[in-house]
Amino acid sequence: MSNTKVLIVEDEALIAMDLEMIMESMGHHVVGITGNGDEALDMIANRQPDLILLDVNIQGQKDGIELAEIIKDRSKKPFIFITSYADKSTLDRAKHTLPYGYILKPFSEQELKATVEIALFRYANESTDEVPSLNTINQNLMSEITDKEYEVMVDIYNGLANQQIASKHFISVNTVKTHVKKLYAKADVHNRAELVKWLSTQ
């Protein structure tokens, strides 16, 4: 999806500029940048963004997670958290807003691009947003996906990064990477975005 309108809610100017540059390089259009939650709500109402990149720690009366709750209830637009916070209490609060991704700072350009692509793809296919069962997937494969690989694949589909998947399942990041590598081979794909698209066709 090109020409997607993106709103950046980030109060660190250098990070906001970096996000803007990466979004523009993907062919998306940044319709606003703000570090204030109240201003962000006005921008969402007036500029109708297709995607919101959202820091947890922002200025104003509401933090990013409270803002996400409002976005979810009012605009139904997809949003991705970009934050320094990886503690369990923040993650627990964040996951209840059903984000389309959760990226930890410092992030890589590749990670951001993949998360954005997956978020937009998922949003465009919301009506079929059900992950197929492991049995359904394995019917079409020469080499079957294991239970643990399936759990990791569902987490990737839901926008989790390797570090979050590792924390969730009490395994190392290297173990997550091994599972991901095997999934790519079994699905004959090369990256997360391709894996999500492949999963949606099963």
Per-residue pLDDT of the chain (202 residues; tens, 9 = 90+): 457 999 999 989 999 999 999 999 999 999 999 999 989 999 998 999 999 999 998 888 888 999 999 988 887 889 999 988 777 888 888 888 889 998 988 889 998 999 999 999 888 877 555 788 899 899 888 899 999 999 999 989 888 888 888 888 888 989 999 999 999 999 999 998 899 889 888 8
Are 123 and 163 found together in one domain? no
Q: Could you tell me the end-to-end alpha-carbon distance of the chain, in angstroms, rounded to an integer?
A: 22
Say if residue 135 is in the same domain as residue 119.
no
- Per the structure, the complete domain to which residue 173 belongs is given by 130-200
**Residues 18, 116: one domain?**
yes
CATH code, domain carrying 54: 3.40.50.2300
* CB neighbour burial string for 43-64, b if at least 16 within 10 angstroms, e if fewer: bbeeeebbbbbbbbebbbebbb
Looking at the structure, tell me whether residues 143 and 78 fall in a common domain: no
Claim to verify: residue 136 and residue 120 sit in the same structural domain: no
